[in-house]
Amino acid sequence: MYKERIFTVLLTILLFISSGAFSQSSTGKIVVNADLGKNTISKHIYGHFSEHLGHCIYGGYWVGEDAEIPNTNGIRNDVVEALKKVNIPNLRWPGGCFADEYHWRDGIGPRENRPKMINTHWGGVTEDNSFGTHEFFELCRQLNTEPVICGNVGSGTVEEMSKWVEYINSDNVSPMADLRRENGQEESWGVQYWGVGNENWGCGGNMTPEFYADQYKRYATFCRNYGDKELRKIAGGANVDDYNWTEVCMKKIPHHMMWGLSLHHYTTNWWDKGPATGFSEDRYFETLERCIKIEGVIDRHMTIMDKYDPEKKVALVVDEWGAWYNVEPGTNPGFLFQQNTLRDAFIAGISLNYFNERCDRIKMANIAQTVNVLQALIFTREDKIVLTPTYHIFEMYKVHQNATLLPTHLKCDSYEYKNKKIDQLSVSSSVSEDGTVHVSIVNVHPNKSSELTIDLRGKKVSKAMARILTSDALDDHNTFENPNTIKPTEFSNFKLKNNIITANMPAKSVIVFDIK
């Protein structure tokens, strides 16, 4: 009897081990059809968003011409240099909720004459309007990026927005074009992308979708085209899973009147956001689960859009996305400053992989926000900057910009936690004009590596290189004291033979392969 019990125990242990419960590695297979791509991944999917919020604008971009911090025309040189390295394709401004209380004429002319206001949305601080229209376009010029202007529908007027378009885009003889010239800008800026309001279901006016759709048509009608730059107008879309908002807008707004329809979706638990660092595995898994659930929500919005627009002429614009946690202790709660960890690199990587895969409908996305706010790419403090893990994802993933999406099939094990599970891996593939295939992979498992196979079909390849982003702990992050805790390094633990890459992908890591 005793021997039988021993045998049973040993057999149970062997079966448990063979099931993989003690294994610290799993498997993943990726098939990339390198000759079947047809859709282009718009560079604008890798766009950014900067609002008059906290230290995003003031201290983030703008320090003024007289600052001791090195600057060009008042704009920080270090921030510009860093953003140019990620090929920043566009920048959305001035908000956000701030856009629907912003009156553009307060931000033009001599700075000493500009009226001050209270930023009622974000911290109740004084906004001195020293960074306005001309300063924003100087920033875009230095970044060599396309501006995305969000107009005031909530507290503004049709006339106000119409005249802002004229001020910015008209080269005619007209009061607004003449005013711009008086303020030092002879030629128009020719801005194409215009958001008509922001979050009009909430901070932008608490409107119903029916009321907003009617207002959109009014405002859009008087946003005129000047010269050869046809405006690409973006209607203010839904909040998270408000599918009725999308339905009403797609039904009531003539499609020729809108280039895109926006959607805002943050990875957060609004009732209990949790800390940005020092989080448990419970928090980690829940955050990833929420990030992945976004995909189903967006897919449903796109299904509604397909119903009214099967030819996909109206773009889906995810112009606010990212992680949202509790602010850092001791900071102004209205400034939305939060630390940025390896977990946030995974959120960025998973989200961008998904946006790439839906590039037939998603034509623009803007992470919130670029500097010092929410899931920021850059932190600034006086004359110092820190590049966050999210920054490094955008730098690694820039190879996908304007590349052709490649059909990619993934089979992988799951990351299981407390009777729940999600895919351990996330992947996206593209091919650039020079024929280089790019494969970006995220391994979210905190403990298990993945014995990975990448099967490249339809194209003969002979060499590959890769970079990896990882760290010892999930909440590792870069600080002003230790700015390089997390940064990309070369990854060489792989082999390429007969068009197949075999690799051991470490736990909690992101890898981007470039294959020729």
Euclidean distance between CA atoms 127 and 129, whole angstroms: 6
Is there a catalytic annotation at residue 320?
yes
Q: Are residues 290 and 337 in the same domain?
A: yes
Euclidean distance between CA atoms 185 and 159, whole angstroms: 22
Q: What is the pLDDT of residue 271?
A: 93
Asked if pLDDT for residue 26 goes beyond 60, the answer is yes
Beta strands in 70-144 (DSSP E): 71-72, 75-76, 90-93, 117-118, 126-127
**Spacing of C-alpha 117 from chain mean position:** 29
CATH of the domain at 463: 2.60.40.1180
Residue 16 in domain: no
Report which of 483, 227, 246 is spatially closest to residue 379, judged by C-alpha positions: 483
Q: Are residues 374 and 438 in the same domain?
A: no
User: Could you give the C-alpha distances from 292 to 76, 80, 318, 373, in angstroms and in order?
Assistant: 36, 32, 15, 22
Residue ending a domain, among 401, 424, 446, is 401
- pLDDT tens profile 32-50: 999 999 999 999 999 999 9
Q: Are residues 74 and 88 in the same domain?
A: yes
Residue 108 in domain: yes
Residue 110 in domain: yes
Total number of domains in the chain: 2
Q: What is the pLDDT of residue 423?
A: 97
Is there a catalytic annotation at residue 433?
no
Euclidean distance between CA atoms 357 and 406, whole angstroms: 9
Residue 9 in domain: no
Q: Are residues 170 and 291 in the same domain?
A: yes
Q: What is the pLDDT of residue 11?
A: 42
Residue 329 in domain: yes
Residue 136 in domain: yes
Active-site position among 199, 286, 357, 395: 199
Q: What is the pLDDT of residue 185?
A: 97
Confidence of residue 8 (pLDDT cuts 50, 70, 90): very low
Q: Are residues 167 and 27 in the same domain?
A: no
Residue ending a domain, among 401, 428, 443, is 401
Give me the chain's average pLDDT, please: 94
Residue ending a domain, among 353, 379, 401, is 401
Q: Are residues 396 and 421 in the same domain?
A: no
Half-sphere exposure of 33 (CA within 13 A, CB side): 9
- pLDDT tens profile 299-322: 999 999 999 999 999 999 999 999
Q: Do residues 502 and 453 make contact, with C-beta atoms less than 8 angstroms apart?
A: yes
Q: What is the pLDDT of residue 229?
A: 82
Q: Are residues 395 and 411 in the same domain?
A: no
Active-site position among 101, 138, 166, 320: 320
- pLDDT tens profile 346-400: 999 999 999 999 999 999 999 999 999 999 999 999 999 999 999 999 999 999 9
Q: Which helix (H) or strand (E) segment is 380 a member of?
A: strand 378-381
Q: Are residues 305 and 438 in the same domain?
A: no
List the beta bridge partners of residue 148: 92, 193
Q: Are residues 74 and 151 in the same domain?
A: yes
Residue 209 in domain: yes
Q: Are residues 273 and 147 in the same domain?
A: yes
CATH of the domain at 394: 3.20.20.80
Residue-number span of the structural domain to which 487 is assigned: 23-38+406-515
Q: Are residues 252 and 109 in the same domain?
A: yes
> Average pLDDT, stretch 4-22?
41
Euclidean distance between CA atoms 253 and 245, whole angstroms: 12
268 or 13, higher pLDDT: 268
Six token digits for residue 350: 């998973």
3-state SS, 491-516, equals: CCCEEEECCEEEEEECCCEEEEEEEC
Q: Do residues 85 and 395 make contact, with C-beta atoms less than 8 angstroms apart?
A: yes
- pLDDT tens profile 177-212: 999 999 999 999 999 999 999 999 999 999 999 999
Residue 8 in domain: no
Q: Are residues 394 and 412 in the same domain?
A: no
